[in-house]
Structure 1
Amino acid sequence: MSDLDQAKCYFCSYFIPCSNPHGVFMWRSEIKNLEHISDKNINKLIRPITNKVFYTQSEQGPSQKVEFNINKWFMIEYSTVCVATYDPQKSHIFKLGGQLYLNIFPGFLHILHPISTFESTTHLAVKFIFFHIQDIWCSGDWNLTEYVIKWLAGMSAKRKMYSILYLKSGQGWGKSIITDFIQRSVLGTQLVYKTSNPQTILGSFNGQLQGKVLLLLEKMPTEKS
């Protein structure tokens, strides 16, 4: 039975029971993200395979029969249970007030570095992006450009923003060039939610925004009121 300890540790490095929401979180290494499996689908994921039988030799009397079932052990006997949360500032697993938390925030695309460590080609590329913001988004207004750049920097640095950037222009002016760049190359697609459905912010449910840093609302209907 002691030979199973290493297998148990390996198993628990990919799966962890959760009390809120109920179920099991599984680490998906191919997408580097966590996936929640509901209680009713657990047996499809962690199969209740035939019991493995072991015999332990006692000092007196016959050998004792011991059975091991990976599903039963993990779902009933394994005592580590977490609560899921989203927090860009915390590690993947942390304790607070004795409660174990699983941070399902997917993480940022890049590790922060001082600006001096970037190559000159990167600085030129950033200037190109800034020029587009100033020339296209802000019609050459530097004060507005500075506000937009600071807004984007604050959002990218995990701050909660209390204003929105509203862009309005004709077709093909390049509004989406910057937001597509941020989604693809700055934050990563896992932290950005892009939609044209107004119910995302007007409806009763917003679970799709959980763990997102930036919300892009494109071609939204407008009203004079």
Structure 2
Amino acid sequence: MTAKTSIQAQVIPKFGEQKKAFSIDELKQLINAAKSMSDLDQAKRYLCSYFIPSSNPHGIFMWWSEIKYLEHILDKNISKLICPITKVFYIQSEQGPSQKVEFNINKWFMVKYSTVCVATCNLQKSRIFKLGGQLYLNIFLGFLHILRPISTFESITHQAVKFIFFHVQDIWYSGDWNFTEYIINWLAGVSTERKMYSILYLKSG
């Protein structure tokens, strides 16, 4: 495993796991504190825990940890968030004078960082996963409500659900339970992200 591969292997699982908001000042501090090119790995890991390039849709996804949200940003607008912070190093060569090497975090991320994902939505996958060699970013942020057994709900909730199902059975399908059960199963399929091969078409006078 090369050094470049090693860095990216450390970065990928950390995307979307940060608990505090992204700070450009913290990124600057990490870059300025670096004494060598290898010391920049910490700044790279910090940056890539908040940002990841995407080929579909094309652009950059940013993780907003404080509100647990993924924002898609166009490449042309990313410099407003990832400033072109630079750091200059002087590397002593075996023969001759030291060489000047300049590191630009924006250029590194946009040009040299080769991890690129494809956005998808899957209830059963982790935030970042691979399938057939392709890296995917799971943009599913979780259900609005925590799933729990129906027996744990209050009676007023049970009555509300029964009212809705009664409306579907009595008004939509004139008391036919077979059609009502189909609708219940259809809605359950949608909520679990099953690919549906039909749509609901409602029409009234």
- Per-residue deviation, 1:12: 1.1
Q: Secondary structure at the match of 1:36?
A: strand
- Per-residue deviation, 1:161: 2.2
Partner of 1:145: 180
Name whichever of 31-40 and 145-154 sits farther off. 31-40
- Amino acid of the structure 2 residue aligned with 1:12: C
Partner of 1:37: 73
- Amino acid of the structure 1 residue aligned with 2:107: K
Q: Percent identity?
A: 82
- Per-residue deviation, 1:149: 1.8
- Amino acid of the structure 2 residue aligned with 1:92: R
Runs of 4+ residues over 6 Å off in structure 1: 55-58, 61-64
Matches within 5 A, 1:27-176: 27-29=63-65, 32-49=68-85, 51-53=86-88, 67-170=102-205
Q: What 5-or-longer segments of structure 1 have no aligned partner?
A: 171-225
Q: Deviations over 1:104-150 (max 9, x none)?
A: 34443334333334344432332232223233333433333222222
- Per-residue deviation, 1:16: 0.6
User: Does 1 or 2 have the higher relative contact order (CA < 8 Å, sep 6+)?
Assistant: 2
* 1:22 matches 2:55: no
Number of equivalenced pairs: 169
Q: Deviations over 1:43-95 (max 9, x none)?
A: 3442224x23456799xx99876543220221233232223333333222101
TM-score by length of 2: 0.63
Name whichever of 9-18 and 161-170 sits farther off. 161-170
Contact 2:123 2:192 in 1 (8 A): no
Q: Partners of 1:157 and 1:128 in 2: how far apart?
A: 23
Q: Partners of 2:57 and 2:200 in 1: how far apart?
A: 33
Q: Partners of 1:39 and 1:53 in 2: how far apart?
A: 25
TM-score by length of 1: 0.58
- Per-residue deviation, 1:29: 3.9
Q: What 5-or-longer segments of structure 2 have no aligned partner?
A: 1-33
